Amino acid sequence: MIKYYNKIILSLSEITDHPVLLIHGLTGCAFHCFHCFNYDELIANTPESHQTIGDVLTTIRQQEQLFDYIVFSGGEFLRASLDDLRHDLVAVRTISNKPIIIYTTGIELSKMKALHQEGLVDGFHVDMKLPYHLLNEDDADLIELTMGITITNLSLFDKLLDALEFTIAYDKGFSRIRSVRYPFLSESAFSENRTYIHQLNHRYGKNVPYDVNPFIYTETEKL
């Protein structure tokens, strides 16, 4: 069973010109990215109280006319088991025809493929933390600073690149690739990302947007 954060948010800032219902799964994350907004509250100190999929469905029914998209986030929402993901997404599909989008790092590509093939997800918004295609073993410190992980080889980034390619190849008009403008990254990092995504779009005849979101310190960190 997937546990959900008690605060289900009606947001106007996730997708331009579209209100979304933003639902956080308490599913953990493999990364601890630089100053992650959700880490302390949703991952390191998972709340004891939570909502169930039944509670989520009630909120969707009550607010159906107020949003255009249903967005699942985390942590990493796709860390939940595939059976649990299927169960909950089928339940949502049963009561709503609004497009379903999942925020992900791309680390669970096999689940992305399964949910896409079964028609349970309309799009993925994938976080591209770094120019994965340019990384080498000398970038271990940068990877640890950005993503909070220690690597012994670069195989993870091959998987993340495969997830980016899959997202673009099978886009139905709802997917996006996003980066955060971490303060220690140069503008060239985002230029390289943008070029890479443009090349994938050209290869598959798609037009998946690439966004660079501002880096924002939390209120506690500003003090």
CA 185 to chain CA centroid, Å, is 20
pTM to 2 decimals? 0.93
Residue from 90, 86, 64 nearest 8 by CA: 64
Q: How confident is the model at residue 194 (pLDDT cuts 50, 70, 90)?
A: very high
Instruction: Using DSSP bridges, classify how beta strands 9-15 and 100-104 pair: parallel, antiparallel or unpaired.
Output: unpaired
- Single-letter amino acid, residue 163: A
Characterise 121 by phi-psi region: left (phi > 0), alpha (psi -120 to 50), beta (else).
beta
Q: What is the pLDDT of residue 151?
A: 92
Residue length of the chain: 223
Mean pLDDT across the chain, nearest whole number? 93
CA atoms within 13 A on the CB side of 109: 14
- Single-letter amino acid, residue 53: I
Name all domains of the chain by residue range, CATH numbers in brackets.
Answer: 9-222 (3.20.20.70)
